Chains A and B, each alone.
Chain A
Amino acid sequence: QKEVEQNSGPLSVPEGAIASLNCTYSDRVSQSFFWYRQYSGKSPELIMSIYSNGDKEDGRFTAQLNKASQYVSLLIRDSQPSDSATYLCAVNLNYQLIWGAGTKLIIKP
């Protein structure tokens, strides 16, 4: 079993709707969790970090963490075509980031 798992997609969402991206991880020791966005042909960039159970909001983005169930999710409200990208989930384990393979999100105008 991979340590960090994401549905590869593509996930297609109409413009203006909520996009929901999910990530599960296998190691209960993990304490910090990150969402990166990667546009096609570009490098990843950090968009959200979360360390505690519950929700963390930043603009149109909300990260949700449930340590008991070992999942972390990212919600994007009012989705825009510019949100079309691959979203990478990363988990801090033993001073390294362990990465999921990413979910490709397509926002349809």
Chain B
Amino acid sequence: DADVTQTPRNRITKTGKRIMLECSQTKGHDRMYWYRQDPGLGLRLIYYSFDVKDINKGEISDGYSVSRQAQAKFSLSLESAIPNQTALYFCATSDLKGGGIGEQFFGPGTRLTVL
């Protein structure tokens, strides 16, 4: 089955460390997104990319950076992790055609804890 995968699934790290979260998809979708989810706050968009050469900041991009290495790969980096970046991180994809921006397919999530 075409899928969205995220690695790692769980990560515990210390303040100040550099962390990379990776996302791969086999759906052939052009658009990819990184979200974080915090209790009571819902999903918040960190970065999004409509193709390999198009990367855009979302609502909460400060402290994060991304790389779109290929159509199928979109990585999120925390250059110097801090405790308030502890959250559940989701990667998602959508198709330029078909359902468009509203029909997004999510990976299983990465639970990140910064001590």
Residues of chain A with a CB closer than 8 A to B104's CB: 44, 46, 97
* A-B interface pairs (CB < 8 A), number: 49
**Chain A interface mostly:** strand
Which listed residue, A4, A34, A45, A101, touches B102 by the CB 8 Å rule? A34
Considering only residues 1-24 of chain A, those with a C-beta below 8 Å from chain B are: 4, 8
In the complex, the answer to whether A44 meets B45 with C-beta atoms within 8 Å is: no
In the complex, the answer to whether A49 meets B103 with C-beta atoms within 8 Å is: yes
A90 sits at the interface (CB 8 A): yes
In the complex, the answer to whether B43 meets A95 with C-beta atoms within 8 Å is: no
Which of B66-74, B77-85, B105-113 lies at the binding interface?
A: B105-113
In the complex, the answer to whether A43 meets B107 with C-beta atoms within 8 Å is: yes
Considering only residues 29-67 of chain A, those with a C-beta below 8 Å from chain B are: 32, 34, 42-46, 49
14 sampled A-B residue pairs with Cβ under 8 A: A4-B42, A32-B102, A34-B103, A43-B108, A44-B90, A46-B102, A49-B102, A49-B103, A90-B102, A95-B101, A96-B101, A97-B104, A99-B43, A101-B42
Interface residues of B (CB under 8 A from A): 40-45, 48, 58-59, 90, 99-104, 106-109
